[in-house]
Structure 1
């Protein structure tokens, strides 16, 4: 991953022991460096930490690392206790949910730690984060200040990457990188495993992410798959996964915005399914402002398909249940792109959220269907 040059880098400043200090500010979701910084340690109560963080004060932690983790949990509990506004419609529920999520992220992001040039946190009982930081950020470019929440995210991602995610449709594990969406929702893979292949010669996988769809197509007997992505982490992640699965000779991973050059008889795409603004890099797999990727795929599909070729669009209808897009609008996009529907295959999601009644979006999630749209040029 590239790093910003020093001139572009955002800095954070604070006063400590009567001295003015500053350091590089690190934020994966590009949030601005906090303007007000308070030094905090084990003597600070959760209530006063919550008050300070809610008012926009960052807490630079100088106490025990494990106590900071517990404080973060205590802050999260205080956020959960706040009464929720009642939503008047599914769209209102979605907007309130996103607003609450972003407010929660902002408040929890106020607890900060200092990381030195060797990726060491010089706090009592701090874990070794070198490997996790190297995987996510690349080689160190000097000391920085970062939210504890981001550090916990790096550690979690490192575990996911090390252990991998079991993919029943592949009968293998996929190892997601930090910032690359993990294929935890396997239902769409079952659709890809079952849909009749129009060809076994050449397929394109558009927006490959971890490489899971490309791997599945190759495993189903497609002789050559070209997988594309724009994200440097996704490209590296897909290449490594395909290498682990011994499929690198059949799958070529290339950097491209949507389509590679040429035509194929099968083109598969699983775009983000919610037309809204993503708040962090990982959210680009779920949220897509103005349906940019969906429109781009549909509008470019006909010219990249071989005669009698098929485009497989994998899409959840959650946006329809939330009032963010109508079925008619999607069908219109398909028609406007010069495409027709051959057949649609549907499956109900089985992930935990679909049955969680405390989820503010439960009504929409419980009605959600994921579909594979088999499309052809008209």
Structure 2
């Protein structure tokens, strides 16, 4: 998170405020004050040039302007005027790997452009704009107490408000017959197929204790506890995930079975069952929420495999829940995964596979459609060699 100062000139006076960016974006160097008189085309041109727009107009008009900027960023404004150079034919990727990197590059550019529309906050999470919503509760949940003024991108603010609604409503988990409530910055268990794998795979004999490595929302710990595992130790390093997992375990009245501890990967000791659902794609995350999806150089995956043998009880199993999307994108070959398993002194006892059912798997217009359509999520049952 970047917490440096944003500087701008307003009515001839030099001003500054704390800059807040969960994605770690630095404060924009060029800032102009904008209001309801600014049209979308001019706003988009300024944003593309790296000039931020500090909004002083009506809040709901700012939301509409952001939507207009998004339409332009997505190329939905029709054909460009002759000579303007807009809407050039997209580069055709030579491989799935190049398609992935081009897609990430486009996402990053889109995010930077849309992040140029800024909203001011007064102390106490008050937005000093006409028709501004009350976002105090959502901000307190995400950031803690707000005692000073700051500036944030409207796009990030709307994401925060959306996360607050997710937290209130929760995500229905059929394997639990209950809802899991994700917190801001903690990945939501919307990919239900991997949860179902953990719910249906036969437990090792005499599973009196299980470790859930990198528990996130705590959903897999809850599933194991509901399956009758007497004691589950869930580990996490991220403070928001720790709070989220503890909240969900409390909501489900599973605190006598599940303990959430702050540690890197494994807790002390051994267990008959050690479960891990690491990030599935070996790439660099660009925001806090992406740490649940992208694992640079497969660090967590390799760390889990390297330490698993020393934390398995005799005859125990390690359950690795992993999508093969990275293989279809050319980012990590299957042979590499099998090599890491062997190097860790492990053997594959079995594997349960399931096809994803999320909407992108069937979206032919998605830039990564071929890889997503071929994707399989697997639960690898691993044992000591």
Same-fold call, TM > 0.5?
yes
Give how far 1:141 is off.
3.2
Q: Separation in 1 of the partners of 2:334 and 2:94?
A: 22
Summarize the alignment of residues 315-326 of structure 1 with structure 2, pairs less than 5 Å apart: 315-326=322-333
Out of 254, 259, 282, the position equivalent to 1:275 is 282
* Alignment-derived partner of residue 16 in structure 1: 10
* Alignment-derived partner of residue 64 in structure 2: 70
User: Which deviations, in whole Å up to 9, do the C-alpha atoms of 1:216-256 show, x marking residues without a partner?
Assistant: 00000000000000000100100010011010110000001
Summarize the alignment of residues 76-95 of structure 1 with structure 2, pairs less than 5 Å apart: 76-81=70-75, 82=87, 83-95=89-101
Summarize the alignment of residues 127-138 of structure 1 with structure 2, pairs less than 5 Å apart: 127-138=133-144
Contact 1:311-1:376 within 8 A present in 2 as well: yes
* Alignment-derived partner of residue 99 in structure 1: 105
Summarize the alignment of residues 353-372 of structure 1 with structure 2, pairs less than 5 Å apart: 353-372=360-379
Q: Separation in 2 of the partners of 1:85 and 1:63?
A: 38
Compare 191-200 and 91-100 and name the one that shifted more. 191-200
Q: Separation in 2 of the partners of 1:37 and 1:282?
A: 27
User: Which deviations, in whole Å up to 9, do the C-alpha atoms of 1:312-362 show, x marking residues without a partner?
Assistant: 000000000000010101100100111000000000000111111111000
Q: Separation in 1 of the partners of 2:3 and 2:128?
A: 23
Contact 2:54-2:119 within 8 A present in 1 as well: yes
User: Which deviations, in whole Å up to 9, do the C-alpha atoms of 1:3-47 show, x marking residues without a partner?
Assistant: x9xxx9400000001110000000001110000001111111110
2:214 aligned with 1:207: yes
Contact 1:200-1:221 within 8 A present in 2 as well: no
2:327 aligned with 1:333: no
Residue 74 of structure 2: SS of its match in structure 1?
A: helix
Contact 2:3-2:21 within 8 A present in 1 as well: no
Q: Separation in 2 of the partners of 1:348 and 1:311?
A: 21
Compare 313-322 and 84-93 and name the one that shifted more. 84-93
Q: Separation in 2 of the partners of 1:327 and 1:163?
A: 38
> Moved runs in structure 1, 4+ residues, more than 3 A?
none
Q: Separation in 1 of the partners of 2:122 and 2:135?
A: 11
Residue 102 of structure 1: SS of its match in structure 2?
A: helix
* Alignment-derived partner of residue 199 in structure 2: 193
Contact 2:124-2:145 within 8 A present in 1 as well: no
Out of 5, 25, 50, the position equivalent to 1:31 is 25
Give how far 1:118 is off.
1.3
Cα RMSD between the aligned structures?
A: 0.9
Q: Separation in 1 of the partners of 2:3 and 2:364?
A: 43
Contact 2:124-2:147 within 8 A present in 1 as well: no
Out of 178, 181, 187, the position equivalent to 2:184 is 178
Q: Separation in 2 of the partners of 1:303 and 1:79?
A: 50
Contact 1:164-1:173 within 8 A present in 2 as well: yes
Q: Separation in 1 of the partners of 2:122 and 2:215?
A: 35
* Alignment-derived partner of residue 149 in structure 2: 143
Out of 50, 57, 72, the position equivalent to 2:44 is 50
Give how far 1:87 is off.
1.1
* Alignment-derived partner of residue 305 in structure 1: 312
The normalised TM-score by structure 1 is 0.97
Residue 131 of structure 2: SS of its match in structure 1?
A: coil
Out of 294, 308, 326, the position equivalent to 1:287 is 294
Q: Separation in 1 of the partners of 2:3 and 2:165?
A: 29
User: Which deviations, in whole Å up to 9, do the C-alpha atoms of 1:139-190 show, x marking residues without a partner?
Assistant: 1130000000111011000000001000011110000000000000000011
Q: Separation in 2 of the partners of 1:141 and 1:49?
A: 31
Summarize the alignment of residues 101-116 of structure 1 with structure 2, pairs less than 5 Å apart: 101-116=107-122
Q: Separation in 2 of the partners of 1:259 and 1:332?
A: 22
